[in-house]
Amino acid sequence: MKLPRDIEFHEDIRLLVYRPRGLIDEAAINKIISAIEDLEVATQEPFNRFSDTLDTHEVELNFGYVIHVSLHRRLSHKGRAPVKSAILATDSTLIHYARLLALLTQGSSIKVQVFQDRKEAAQWLGVPLELLAAKPRVANHPE
């Protein structure tokens, strides 16, 4: 399966890593949700998620959209094995929306946790810190 370049899937440890850059808007969220749902269908096995939002600089979302997406994910994941979704964020707006996602998915099979420290996210996910380390930008692929 071909994934956008800001999304990696580590099949051996069942982990999706998303590293958005620049703007987080509805198009960005739709892209990651589409990738997650495609992988869920293709693999039929649960996998955890890690979103590293530290290279984002602007957020253009609204409560209605975040609530809609959160409830969609909650319902579409119903009956599936539990997964963890760690969101690394230091921007106050992103933290706010991530906490809203965590609140709206409480009681579902998607466990969302917001972190400001990469090491804590790695521990919660049970993966090596090096795997979650920030990747340098590729010179031939400026964003």
Range of the domain at 101: 7-132
Instruction: Please report, rounded to a whole number, the percentage of residues in the chain having pLDDT higher than 90.
Output: 86
Could you tell me if 82 and 109 are in contact, meaning their C-beta atoms sit under 8 angstroms apart? yes
* DSSP H or E stretch at residue 18: strand 15-18
Residue 137 in domain: no
Residue at 61 is within a domain: yes
Whether 90 maps to a domain, the answer reads yes
**First-residue to last-residue Cα distance in the chain:** 22
Residue 139 lies in a domain: no
Reported as a single tens digit per residue, the pLDDT across 103-114 is 999 999 999 999
Q: What is the pTM of this model?
A: 0.91
pLDDT at 136: 53
Average pLDDT over residues 112-139: 87
Q: Would you say how long the chain is, in residues?
A: 143
Assigned domain for 140 exists: no
On whether residue 126 sits in a domain, the answer given is yes
CATH of the domain at 51: 3.30.750.24
Q: How many domains does the chain have?
A: 1
